[in-house]
Amino acid sequence: MSAALGAGLRAVLALAFGLALWQAVVWASGVPPFILPGPVRVAESLWANAPMLAQNARFTLFNLLTGLAAGITLGVATALNLALSPGARLLVRPMLIFAQAVPVFALAPVITLWLGYGAPSKIVIVMLVIYFPVTSAFFDGLMRLPAPLADMAQLMRATPVRRLIWVQVPHALPSLASGLRLAVVYAPFAVIIGEWVGSSRGLGYLMLMANGRGQTDLMFAALLVLAALGLTLFFVFEGVIKRLTRPDQGQR
């Protein structure tokens, strides 16, 4: 508990120092508020526009969580099928490598054109961005089975499915955790880019609207809300990942 309190205190102190430095730069430079508003001005905008920010944040969060769930599910399923089927590896893996060479962000306008300005296009963009890291990380972990474990599975005459479930998957959980961490980092960028390309709602849309109207304080407020969503999601996933990869040997 003391370690957690210490880490929380350090985070609060770092945040306070960053805000103080930000305000000091604004005061010392005399930069106009429409270029760089101070944290006090941003906080005032955050309070004054709280209902609008909350409404757009709900839309962004829905797209973010739905895209994450779809991308992770599809990535895990693809990795399991590739590990289980040599034929799938011959057919699908070259397609995955080729698809990774094409930036998904470059396809965002096309996806928006096909699926419209609503939630589906944002969900698909998030799903595609995180699908490849999750698939690649988990598949690599499944295939990097140590020789002693492979020999044990062979001696026990385990079927390919049993070998996959009871031997390969537990060994590959740390690799899956690495893929999940990348997914949580990439997902907020993906959803915001999707909203920048074309949307009528969301924090990304609100940032563009505020920028066009010269409301830089509102743009910073939307950015802070997005950062809060991203950090909350990261810490939630980090807790899930630690439970997922917690060794059981010491508990037995």
pLDDT, tens digit (0-9, with 9 covering 90-100), for 22-47: 888 888 888 888 888 888 899 999 99
- How confident is residue 249, by pLDDT bands cut at 50, 70 and 90? very low
Q: How many residues comprise the chain?
A: 252
Q: pTM here?
A: 0.86
CA distance 208 to 193: 11
**Position 157 pLDDT exceeds 80:** no
- How confident is residue 49, by pLDDT bands cut at 50, 70 and 90? very high
Task: Tell me if 177 sits within 8 A of 244, measured CB to CB.
Answer: yes
The label of the residue with tokens 């990304």 reads 204
CA distance 123 to 12: 33
- How confident is residue 248, by pLDDT bands cut at 50, 70 and 90? low
The label of the residue with tokens 């893996």 reads 93
- How confident is residue 187, by pLDDT bands cut at 50, 70 and 90? very high
Q: Which two tokens stand for residue 32?
A: 């106009």
- How confident is residue 72, by pLDDT bands cut at 50, 70 and 90? very high
CA distance 54 to 30: 31
CA distance to 10, 173, 247, 248, per residue, from 252 (Å): 35, 19, 10, 7
Radius of gyration of the chain (CA): 22
DSSP designation for 213: T
Confidence (pLDDT) at 7: 57
Q: Which two tokens stand for residue 215?
A: 């409301």
Query: Each residue of 205-233: pLDDT tens digit?
Result: 999 999 888 899 999 999 999 989 988 99
